[in-house]
Structure 1
Amino acid sequence: MPGPGRKTKAKASPRSGASGSTSADSNARLAAFIGTIDNADGWSPVVNLLCAYFELPDITTRSGLKKVHANFDSIYRRLDKAYTQNASNVRIKGGIVGIYARMCVDSLLRNKLFQRGFLAQLFPLLDVPECRRLALRSLTTITHHGGIEIRMEIAKSGYLILLRILQEYPDDPKTVELSIVTLSHCLISTISDEGVKIDRHLGESLDLTDILKIVTDTIRRPFPSRILVDHSVQLLAMSTLHSDVPPTSARFLVAGLRSKDWIFRCTCLGGLVRLHRKQSESDQRALDPMKLMAAVSRPAPPHLSEILRAYGFQQCEAYLTMKTASDFQSAMMNCVSTRDLYSLGLSLASFILRTEFSVSEGAYQSPNSVTGQMESMDLGLPFTMWSDSLPHCAKAIRAKGVPAEADMADILDMKFSIMRQRIPEAVRVANAALKRNPDFAYAYYALTLASDPVVGLRAAKKGMKCTKITPFVRFQMMQRAVEQAGEMGIQMLQENASEGDKKWEEGIAFLISALEDSKTYIAQAPPDNRHMKNVLYWNILLRIAIDEEISADLRELQVCILRKHDVLLAHRPQGSIRKLKIADDFSKWIGITPPRTNLRLTQQTVVRLFPEAVEEWGEFITNNSRLDGPAPSTEKAEDDLAAWLGDVHLEGEDQCHQPATFNTSHLELYRCSWCGNPSAVLRKCAGCAKSRYCDASCQKSHWKDHKRACSANKTN
């Protein structure tokens, strides 16, 4: 059977260029086709005949669509007239709708057709048994290629119809699949950030909870296709931010974390991370020094005291914060008598490298003789608030002109900008400082606070490689690296899920990097570090999603199995879940109830639901993500317009992606050979073409260690 628009002539085709034809002649010629069309076996021959009759260009090619552009009004008039005059002939109506659907691959033609009311011709065919699949196939094609406005219009006009079809024809696999695909395309666009900006009320009008329940029940039916499951999980994951999620849907997402398909599991993880965003609390950013002093002044609970002693109390955050507060007070009081801003600056810079809360927002005060209220005192210093001393001290250090102390002045300026929430200023100082000293750890730390996570992660990875770095600065950058790599990995995997797109491999490198840094942080950071909870949230979620073996009862996260040669401190043998309980106890000890942050709630939900999720959905997830599973079947063109509407001359029609597996031996292709930063824009070493680097500074730093291997690889 020749394809639509090819030069093969159909029976009784009108003569090209005939003149003087009347409307009656045209109708008579079309009538002569009706018998042939009615006897055609399947939709593809119907469309072939109609394309030949109307002498359409080959609209499966770009050149053919350009010809339609040039003659759109004329072509549309003929097709619309035939549709109207043959209202009782579903074969002609369906074939014309199929032609329109293929035209919608072109965005300009699609917009023109929608302006002329194409949907009003398409939706009625959904209730015609003979045309149902054709109409659904057309909708999947249109929504696959369609712009967001058109997807939203289809959602507004047809989502209830599609839900009804799902419920009325649950035993028709292809009908169910096409309905789910169209719903996924339309509803995801409607609730996206861009969709909400266009029409917020449309998204709010959708009964997403009911939709998610119907979609989840559909997945549960025997032998769902991979295309259906892929689109269903995308819809479920994207809807969690906007809807109350049915319990079974939440368990499906939790079970999906164990899929062998990386894209699938990270789509589920993204959905779970969004699940609690609306009811979550902000993280604790400030520390009440009075609460800390009150807590440390009394003995810690016995189990916490044992952990602090095992780690080394003088290295713990509570001790360092209290000691630094005392040293800071002494330095500020001493400055009153000495007026020596230079010495004060050197002291403050060293405090800043010890702990996060190194500079107090206090002032020199005395009681008012009349009111008795404490008031600020003017002692002749160039500042009143203690934090305002930082830029003055930095200026005094620079005035001394000692090159080795330039970093100390920059530390004061960066800390002042960070305290005032002027991060761009801190970043500017950091970048200038790194040109002078590429081994300046605190400057990298300032860069980790930049709004661009790519910049922040690269800075954290480089900063942790600095030779002169305090434990506080190192662990600050490590926890930032965990957070930024985790968030970027999830985002990257969800945005690059198309088959053959290797961008998702970079996303996996980000997640593995986050997991590795979280393990190091948990093993080495002070047990009372206030960021320990956040790192453990990531660690628990990523271990569930990444570790090769995880039991349904999560026993691997409950205890830490020690090997004979392991030398660990007393608080180490606990598993991540137990360590999180300890981190919570430390937080409560210093008077801070752990905030119900988004990540905390996500971790709690996953841990709570995991055993039930594995029981309910574990077998389904295993079977659906089998690497040796059969590819989805492709229907013949005679059955519907699947082959023609999905013609590859233009763009691929909806396909399910094959399970995305990751060979860990490829991990080094996505990580800097020096600092370990995951990235897809690494530069290959010009010598061996094997090592990869973020930039010239990383390559230069690695050269001493890499030189011999580079020469050997070049020789080979």
Structure 2
Amino acid sequence: MRSLSGRLARTSLDLDSDPEATTELVELERVPSRALLILYRLLLTGTTMLDALTTRTRGRQPKDKVFVKLLFSAGLSPNTDRLTQEVTRALCIPDCDTSRGLKKCHESFETIRATLDKVFAQTQEEPAPGPLVACDHLAGAILLIYARMAQDNILCRRLVFDTPFLDKVVALLSSPVVRQGMVMILSKLCHQRDSEVLRAVARFTSTLLDYAEPHMARLPFVERTVCVLSHATTSIYREPVPDPEVIAALPRAIQFMLSVVRLPGSTSLSFDHLIMFCHETAPRCPAPLLANPDCLDLLVACARCPDICTRICSERALIGAFIAPHLDKQRQIEPTREETRTLLQDYYRENEPFVLKLLDGEAKLSALAKEYKANPDCSHSGLGQELASLVLHHEETIRIWIGCRVEGAEDVREMLRGCEKAVRIAADETNGLDVTSDILRISLLASEGDRYEASHYALEALKRHPSVPFFYFILASCGCGIGDDVVTRVLYAEKGLQCDDGMTEYLQLALLYIHLYYAHLLVSQMADGFPADFRLKEVNVLMETASANAHTWSRIAPVDHFQRPLLTTVGILIDLLRDGHTWTDEIFQASRLRFCSPWRKLMNFQETRTFYTQVCDTARCTRTGFNPMEHTFALDKILDRMSIAWDTWGSTVSCQPPKPYTTAAESDHSEVDIVAWFEKLNTGTCFSRMFELQGIDPGVKRFGDANLHTCSYCNNGNAALKKCAGCQQTRYCNNVCQKNHWRSHREACKASRIDKEDQKTEGGVEGQGDSGR
């Protein structure tokens, strides 16, 4: 240390004219001796740092003065970011914020890693007498340099899986001076959206709680910890076998997050992450939520939150938590048993008089089947017309009859085939386009469970008969034929309701029912990371359309309609999502009476309620593909617990700042334009992933380098990616991925090239935007 003292003495003579440097030297006596020793050793033995200091001064600033500033930052400055910048410059670490610097980091990763590990190792040696604050600052600075490199997907995976980077970060959480910086590093890693990295962070859930729970007074630290826990723990459900240690820590994590949200001065950061955690966790692991009454009360109280996205997430969390225990039972039900038909008929005959109209269709269907079987050689075009009329009024009867394989189902199937053929031949002889044959053919395909073929045939039939609501009903109930896209179902249901050619009471009620259910589901999906401008402009229009359809259905449907309980439930949920923040206690009481009226005979008796759940589970398999009971339990909890929940959490929920959104009156779209709006969104990709596949991650956009993104088709982040030349938005590993993705990307790519008509699109991945054609 004698040479060090002489070096500092000579520096003081050179810097007497600099007041700032003089102050630094006066304060230098407070620098711990261990930090001086570490940095001085680096100067003497680390030629890279010494050369860097000499090079960067360029003769205008003595290198000893730079060293003094570096020591001052290490020993005195509480700002670790300042020290990080000094060490980065001193060690010649490339600037990761530029494409050129990032490329150097990739090429020299092992060299950079060895240099940084050497500095970090010296900070972890046996301490000399004196405080250790400076050493913790220096260790934290090294890890922050690593964290900046980890913003690149490839370097992030190398750091997490090939080095003990996470172990070092978690170990430094014990240091009070860099604790906040370390949890910020974990937060940045979680926002990389790499599922494997998230699961690696989730392994430290218990350790994070051990460090965070004793420091509840440090609000920024615990709020950022909530952010890490929210992102990391929800990733474990994507594993085939979730980590049992993380599952065991979930109740403790939920309680910790609730405690942070209750803290005075707690911001929307922790509140929003807690709600999103419940929203992601509830469908997959509902037990911790159901076992925590405070958490359930918070979700119930969020139905009156000023922010619509919070209302959506909390409602979805409650629905997922209450319906998840019934899913295993539902999968065990065999919908092809003959007892299914008997179960439905017996229950409906005793409890739902309106269903007798549907059951009357069975007698007519049986009579037509006997007539067809008695005269197999006759022309059955007239019988086909009568059968088509029966389909428009009792399609449900035919679907259950054939789908459940009851006695006589084969005769009905043969009758549909024969009548469809006879009607088609008669139409060909008159050179006409008879809609009857299309109705019979599609009804047969839908009844046999071939919903994709039925949807495809319905699309072809719409080209010939664009105003027949039955075809829209098939598309809305069976899907679009290439997937279960929610927006497509809502689109076709809305279009079908605007048609009058052959509209029957059965079709109108069914289309309203499907539109309301899937519109509610679509609004719920808007909480899954959609761009704010889309959600804020359109969500109110969609909810007002669904609410209007719910009231229309309630007005025209018979009082004893068997779907009235479910439609009442979904209608109230839609109204809650739209206007829950304005509801008073009186409105909640009136809604509870409205909700309980159709459900009273079921909700008062647990035995009847269980039986009806089984009936609805069976109907899910044979009819529409969704369980009519899945919303009931959640709404029952909201209306029953709202008074208590609001007393407990009202002050916390009501103070959350609402995100600005456009009302229906201010929106660019009206109810008349809702179909055109859906068509504009229906670009050929799955709606729930449309923005995810075509968007750009804002966290890495600033780096401006293609290899920072994952492949738009296979999500591979370990290869050099090339942009689609057509739209400059999607990126691919190779031609194979681009060709596989082209089917869903074609429409979006062509739309983005409207303003680039003069651009040639020939060549490979980089020269051809549509090479997958």
C-alpha deviations, 1:434-463, integer Å up to 9, x for none? Answer: 110100111111111112322222111111
- Partner SS for 2:50: coil
> Which residue in the other structure is 1:196 paired with?
239
**Cα gap change, 1:528 to 1:108, in 2 (>3 Å):** same
- Partner SS for 1:278: helix
**Aligned equivalent of 1:124, options 149, 168, 171:** 171
- Partner SS for 1:537: helix
Pairwise mapping of residues 339-488 of structure 1 onto structure 2 (< 5 A)? 339=376, 340=378, 341-359=380-398, 385-401=411-427, 406-448=434-476, 449-450=478-479, 451-468=484-501, 469-488=503-522
Moved more, 247-256 or 614-623: 614-623
Q: In structure 1, what is the Cα distance between the partners aligned to 2:439 and 2:324? A: 37
1:330 equivalent to 2:383? Answer: no
Q: In structure 1, what is the Cα distance between the partners aligned to 2:264 and 2:397? A: 61
C-alpha deviations, 1:662-697, integer Å up to 9, x for none? Answer: 3222445276627476465389xxxxxxxxxxxxxx
Pairwise mapping of residues 28-107 of structure 1 onto structure 2 (< 5 A)? 33-34=70-71, 36-87=73-124, 88=127, 89-107=135-153
- Partner SS for 2:217: coil
1:265 equivalent to 2:317? Answer: no
Q: In structure 2, what is the Cα distance between the partners aligned to 1:581 and 1:614? A: 25
1:598 equivalent to 2:617? Answer: no
1:535 equivalent to 2:567? Answer: yes
Report how far residue 35 of structure 1 moved. Answer: 5.3
| Higher helix content, 1 or 2 | 2
**Cα gap change, 1:439 to 1:680, in 2 (>3 Å):** closer
C-alpha deviations, 1:55-104, integer Å up to 9, x for none? Answer: 22333444432332232222222111111123252121111011111211
> Which residue in the other structure is 2:591 paired with?
557
Contact 2:487 2:678 in 1 (8 A): no
Q: In structure 1, what is the Cα distance between the partners aligned to 2:347 and 2:596? A: 25
Contact 2:385 2:436 in 1 (8 A): yes
Q: What amino acid sits opposite 2:489 in the alignment? A: G
Contact 1:180 1:215 in 2 (8 A): yes
Pairwise mapping of residues 164-243 of structure 1 onto structure 2 (< 5 A)? 164-191=210-237, 195-197=238-240, 199-201=241-243, 205-241=247-283, 242-243=285-286
**Aligned equivalent of 2:51, options 7, 10, 15:** 15
Contact 1:354 1:472 in 2 (8 A): yes
> Which residue in the other structure is 1:617 paired with?
649
Contact 2:233 2:246 in 1 (8 A): no
Q: In structure 2, what is the Cα distance between the partners aligned to 1:154 and 1:161? A: 11
**Cα gap change, 1:161 to 1:358, in 2 (>3 Å):** closer
> Which residue in the other structure is 1:149 paired with?
196
- Partner SS for 2:303: helix
Q: In structure 1, what is the Cα distance between the partners aligned to 2:431 and 2:82? A: 83
C-alpha deviations, 1:235-277, integer Å up to 9, x for none? Answer: 1222223132111101111111211111111111221121123
Q: In structure 2, what is the Cα distance between the partners aligned to 1:169 and 1:541? A: 39
Moved more, 609-618 or 418-427: 609-618
Contact 1:324 1:358 in 2 (8 A): yes
- Structure 1 residues without counterparts, runs of 5 or longer: 2-9, 20-25, 305-315, 364-374, 378-382, 560-574, 628-658, 684-716
Q: In structure 2, what is the Cα distance between the partners aligned to 1:505 and 1:272? A: 26
Q: In structure 2, what is the Cα distance between the partners aligned to 1:204 and 1:592? A: 36
Q: What amino acid sits opposite 1:603 in the alignment? A: L
Report how far residue 558 of structure 1 moved. Answer: 4.3
Q: In structure 2, what is the Cα distance between the partners aligned to 1:96 and 1:579? A: 65
Q: In structure 2, what is the Cα distance between the partners aligned to 1:71 and 1:292? A: 70
Contact 2:201 2:232 in 1 (8 A): yes
Report how far residue 478 of structure 1 moved. Answer: 1.3
**Cα gap change, 1:425 to 1:583, in 2 (>3 Å):** farther
Moved more, 507-516 or 161-170: 507-516
Q: In structure 1, what is the Cα distance between the partners aligned to 2:346 and 2:521? A: 36
**Cα gap change, 1:623 to 1:164, in 2 (>3 Å):** same
C-alpha deviations, 1:24-57, integer Å up to 9, x for none? Answer: xx9xx98994455212342122112211211223
> TM-score of the superposition, structure 2-length normalised?
0.68
> Which residue in the other structure is 1:669 paired with?
669
Q: What amino acid sits opposite 2:157 in the alignment? A: N
Q: In structure 1, what is the Cα distance between the partners aligned to 2:148 and 2:156? A: 9
Report how far residue 288 of structure 1 moved. Answer: 6.2
Contact 2:509 2:553 in 1 (8 A): yes
Q: In structure 1, what is the Cα distance between the partners aligned to 2:342 and 2:165? A: 69
Contact 1:670 1:682 in 2 (8 A): no
Q: In structure 2, what is the Cα distance between the partners aligned to 1:405 and 1:41? A: 82
C-alpha deviations, 1:479-511, integer Å up to 9, x for none? Answer: 111111111211122322x6x543454344444
Contact 1:58 1:64 in 2 (8 A): yes
> TM-score of the superposition, structure 1-length normalised?
0.73
Higher RCO (CA < 8 A, seq sep 6+):
1
Q: What amino acid sits opposite 2:465 in the alignment? A: N
- Structure 2 residues without counterparts, runs of 5 or longer: 1-19, 21-38, 44-48, 56-62, 128-134, 618-628, 684-773
- Partner SS for 1:547: helix
Q: In structure 2, what is the Cα distance between the partners aligned to 1:526 and 1:550? A: 29
Q: In structure 1, what is the Cα distance between the partners aligned to 2:386 and 2:254? A: 59
**Aligned equivalent of 2:597, options 578, 584, 593:** 578
Contact 1:252 1:613 in 2 (8 A): yes
Contact 2:302 2:310 in 1 (8 A): yes
Q: In structure 1, what is the Cα distance between the partners aligned to 2:472 and 2:308? A: 32
**Aligned equivalent of 2:186, options 135, 139, 151:** 139
Report how far residue 600 of structure 1 moved. Answer: 2.2
Contact 1:342 1:396 in 2 (8 A): yes
Contact 1:263 1:504 in 2 (8 A): no
Moved more, 604-613 or 410-419: 604-613
Contact 2:52 2:90 in 1 (8 A): no
Moved more, 272-281 or 224-233: 272-281
Contact 2:84 2:144 in 1 (8 A): yes
1:250 equivalent to 2:296? Answer: yes
C-alpha deviations, 1:199-220, integer Å up to 9, x for none? Answer: 5335864432232122112211
**Cα gap change, 1:406 to 1:51, in 2 (>3 Å):** same
Q: What amino acid sits opposite 1:243 in the alignment? A: P
**Cα gap change, 1:134 to 1:64, in 2 (>3 Å):** same
> Which residue in the other structure is 1:495 paired with?
529
Q: In structure 2, what is the Cα distance between the partners aligned to 1:579 and 1:166? A: 48
